[in-house]
Amino acid sequence: MEEGLKTANPHDFSTYTGWTGLLRFLLVVFLSNVSFPAVLLQLQRSVLTPDAEMPDELLYGRAGYLYALLYVNKEVGADTVDNDTITKVVTAIVESGKNMSAEEKKTDRCPLLYEWHKKQYIGAAHGLAGIYYMLMQPGAMVPPIMLAELVRPSIDYVRHRRFRSGNFPSSLSNESDRLVHWCHGAPGVIHMLVMAYKVFKEEKYLKEAADCAEVIWQRGLLRKGYGICHGTAGNGYAFLTLYKLTQEKKYLYRACKFAEWCLDYGTHGCRIPDRPYSLFEGMAGTIHYLSEMANPEAASFPAFEL
C-alpha cells in the first residue's frame, strides 16, 4: 500500500481510485502512525482549489474526499480530521454547485448543480444524488439553513425528473429509462431519498424511496454483473437500507433473494467485469454484500454509507 502511494496519480484525490482511498485504508489499519492523517489533509489544498477541472462527484471528486474524511473520523476518532477542514471541503462543494447553477440559470429550481465530463449526471457515483447524499451526512455539519435552502430544493428538482416507471435517468438530458444501477438510476437515488427523509422528516421522501425499491425488485437482477457499482449486489443494498429504516420484512426478503442470485455466481450469462476481483466491479463487493446477510441490521454499502 505504501508503494501504491508512490505511484498513485497525484491529481486523483478520490477515495475510490486515488490517494485518499489508500490513505484511508492505511489510517484505519495503522492507527498509531501519525504521518497518514497529515498526508491525507495535505490533499485538501488541491481539493479546495476553485478549479473547473476538479469534479465534485463521489467517485473522482470532492464528495469522495469528503466521504474519506468522515470515514476516518468515524473509524479512527472524531478529532482526527478537525471541523474546520470538513467545513472548508463542504464549502468548496457548495460554492461549485451554486456557480454551476447560476451558469445554467437554474438557481431558483436547483440551487446546487454539478456536472462531470460535460454531463449533469443524477446517479450516486458521478451525479447529484451522491453529492447531495454526502452533504446530508451528520458529520458534514452542513448548517440547517443551507440544507433547507440549497440541498432540499435541489433534491426536489431531481425527484421531479423521475420517469413514470419510478426509475431515474442517468443524466438530466437523458430520456432513456434503461439503467437500474447504483451508479445510474433508482438504486443510487434511493439512498439520497432515505437520507432526505431522515434529515427533513417529510413522508414524500420515504414514499418515493419505496417506489424506487419496487423498480429495483422488478428490474434489478442484472446480467451486467454481480458487483455493487452496476450489478445485482449493489441493487440489493437498497433493500437493506430500507429494511434498516422501516423494519419491513419484505425488504429483508428481497435482499435475501438478490443474495441467492449472487450465490449462483457465473451461471446467469453475466459479462466478466474489467476488474473481476475489485470492490466496486467484482467479486469482493459481491462477497461483502453476501456477508451482510449474517447481520442485516448492521449492513452498510461499502465506501458509501457511513
Interval 118-153: pLDDT, tens: 999 999 999 999 999 999 999 999 999 999 999 999
Distance between CA atoms of 300 and 49, rounded to whole angstroms? 32
pLDDT at residue 25 in the model: 53
Which of 292, 171, 274 lies closest to 229 in space, CA to CA?
274
pLDDT at residue 77 in the model: 83
Residue 229 is assigned to a ligand binding site: yes
Interval 254-290: pLDDT, tens: 999 999 999 988 777 777 777 778 788 888 889 999 9
CA distances from 101 to 50, 98, 141, 232 (A): 15, 5, 22, 34
Q: 128 near 120, Cβ under 8 Å?
A: yes
CA distances from 71 to 116, 164, 200 (A): 24, 36, 23
CA 108 to chain centroid: 25
Whether 82 has a pLDDT exceeding 70, the answer reads yes
Residue 275, all three cell numbers: 476488474
Interval 148-183: pLDDT, tens: 999 999 999 999 999 999 999 999 999 999 999 999
Q: For residue 8, what pLDDT band results from cuts at 50, 70 and 90? A: low
Residue given cell 489510517 in the structure block: 27
Residue 230 is assigned to a ligand binding site: yes
> Does this model's pTM top 0.85?
yes
Whether 1 has a pLDDT exceeding 50, the answer reads no
Residue 256 is assigned to a ligand binding site: no
CA distances from 201 to 151, 192, 205 (A): 14, 13, 8
CA atoms within 13 A on the CB side of 31: 8
Tell me how far apart the 2 most distant CA atoms of the chain are, in Å: 52
CA distances from 19 to 15, 32, 184 (A): 7, 19, 25
- The domain made up of 54-220 has a fold known as Glycosyltransferase (1.50.10)
Pick the range with the lowest mean pLDDT from 31-40, 56-65, 226-235.
Answer: 31-40
